[in-house]
Amino acid sequence: MTKEFPKGFLWGAAASAQQLEGASSEAKKAKTVWDYWYAKEPDKFYQKRGPEHTSNFYYRYKEDIVLMKNVGFNSFRTSISWARLIPDGKKVNKEAVSFYRDLFERLNKEGIKPIANLFHFDMPLRLHKIGGWENKEVLEEFYYYAKVAFETFGDLVFDWVTFNEPIVPIEMGYLNDKHLPGIWDMERAMQAGFNTMVAHKKAVKAFKEANIEGGKIGIILNLTPSYPKGENVEDIRAAEIADAFFNKSFLDPAVLGRYPRVIRDVLKTEGIKVNYSQEELDLIKNYKVDFLGVNYYQPRRVQKGDSKSNFKQGFEKYFRSYKWPKAKMNPHRGWEIYEKGIYDIAINLRDCYSNIPWFVAENGMGVEGEEKFIKNGMVMDDYRIEFMSEHLTWLHKAIQEGSNCFGYHVWTFIDNWSWLNEYKNRYGLYRVDLLNQKRTIKKSGRWFYNLATTNKLIENN
């Protein structure tokens, strides 16, 4: 059976500056929090591979754009490095401007629409040292950075996003130790999260002020449906609260201009205070996004919480995770594969968020030890083809039912560096040999070319 997608549908991939570019201490780039952390504690990083080289896109982007065409891309999303573009927060780095302008020009010339993201976890170290998103001064710095980006590249890029997965640095940095500052403090997490949303709104304001003809601005959120363990009141309430904090905490203010009541009620009950001004609330209300990017990998399964838990150190008081007995798992990554989740997201956006235009900004399957699937020099990643195909089947169903989805991007184009995990889990349509940086197309890359160039999903393709 053949499933055709809407005319002009975007096919491509997502990436980020820190994970792809390399040249982390070159071309006048300032240090990010990741450069600092790796220099300080390299043992925390898988195989002690840091962000200096990664996949060397900074030096290989010209040939990599050719590889994008070879898998049928008509679009590509990456981020601008804040620390590269404005190393000291004041003076614009001419070398960074030359790199990004040439990148965007070449993408446009090849018929690959660039989508530029302002922030993808790579806080400049100088701003991390003064508190990062907890410090209101950083919000003004972000506003200035956004203005510079729009003014410098607005003639080449017309589709912009402010943040990728803004909840991740909050969850992983304030309720976990996977990002810095690596503490457990709910009150600081809530303040940093609120400030991040204000920073997003300031960037949207800067975009409107830039008046880029034909330009649109959005945000990319990792929306993860929360499914209750049972039909009882406690489990359903647990799923509602999980959904509020992990999805609606950024989705509602970004799209609707307000926070859900359940979040306000829980914070009031727990005595968690967030500092804000009326001006900030007005920003949140008035500067809404034009479109939404959605990253989807796995669902969230929850059950009723443990009333004895301390809310200030985590959410277990209100909901706990559980393993669904019928779950299909990715044995190489440990994540559940639940393709219908993408359909549920699509219908929710259709019915509860004015059918906002949106695209799948990330979807992919990470596999550890992927070299064991190499045959005759090619990774035979049928598992990745199956993963994409089944998610696209559900996405196509949602589009047929009226969901306003305009594109599908995989994570990622080529294997890239991934925070503390480095290259442990491979996601790319091309394999990267870390010894010589050679790129080799995988079976999924050839499959994706047929998908993108025909605009059709053909079963057993």
- pLDDT tens for residues 117-126? 999 999 999 9
* Catalytic (active site) residue 370: no
For residue 86, count other CB atoms closer than 10 A to its CB.
Answer: 21
Q: Cα separation of 263 and 274, whole Å?
A: 12
Q: 27: burial class by Cβ within 10 Å (0-12, 13-18, 19+)?
A: middle
The 10s digit of each residue's pLDDT in 55-79 is 999 999 999 999 999 999 999 999 9
**Residue 19 CB partners (closer than 8 Å, separation 6+):** 51, 54, 55, 120, 416, 417, 418, 419
Q: Cα separation of 357 and 385, whole Å?
A: 26
pLDDT of residue 460: 63
**Residue 209 CB partners (closer than 8 Å, separation 6+):** 147
Sign for the pseudo-dihedral over CA of 332, 333, 337, 343: negative
86's tokens: 């404005």
Select which of 134, 141, 339, 362 is catalytic.
362
Q: Cα separation of 305 and 321, whole Å?
A: 9
* Catalytic (active site) residue 21: no
When divided into structural domains, the chain yields a total of 1
pLDDT of residue 127: 98
For residue 401, count other CB atoms closer than 10 A to its CB.
Answer: 11
Q: Cα separation of 274 and 272, whole Å?
A: 7
Q: Using an 8 Å Cβ cutoff, are 110 and 68 in contact?
A: yes
Q: Cα separation of 378 and 441, whole Å?
A: 7
417-432 burial by CB neighbour count: b if 16+ within 10 A, else e? bbbbebbbbbbbbbbb
Q: How many residues are listed for the chain in this entry?
A: 461
pTM of the model: 0.96
Q: Cα separation of 322 and 457, whole Å?
A: 34
167-202 burial by CB neighbour count: b if 16+ within 10 A, else e? bbbbbbbbbeeebbbeeeebbbbbbbbbbbbbbbbb
Helices 186-210/278-286 angle, 10° precision: 60
The residues pairing with 11 across neighbouring beta strands, listed in sequence order, are 408
Which residues constitute the domain of residue 429? Answer: 2-458
Which residue spans within 66-199 are E strands per DSSP? 75-79, 113-119, 159-164
Select which of 21, 134, 141, 165 is catalytic.
165
Phi, psi of 11 (to 5 degrees): -120, 130
Q: Cα separation of 246 and 361, whole Å?
A: 17
Sign for the pseudo-dihedral over CA of 276, 277, 280, 284: positive
For residue 276, count other CB atoms closer than 10 A to its CB.
Answer: 14
Positions in the chain short of pLDDT 70: 460-461
Q: Using an 8 Å Cβ cutoff, are 266 and 318 in contact?
A: yes
Helices (H), 154-277: 167-174, 186-210, 233-243, 249-255, 261-270
Q: Specify the residue for token string 């898998």.
A: 71
Q: Return the CATH number at 219.
A: 3.20.20.80
Q: Cα separation of 75 and 72, whole Å?
A: 9
pLDDT of residue 459: 75
H-run or E-run covering 60 = helix 57-70
Give percent above pLDDT 70 in the chain: 100
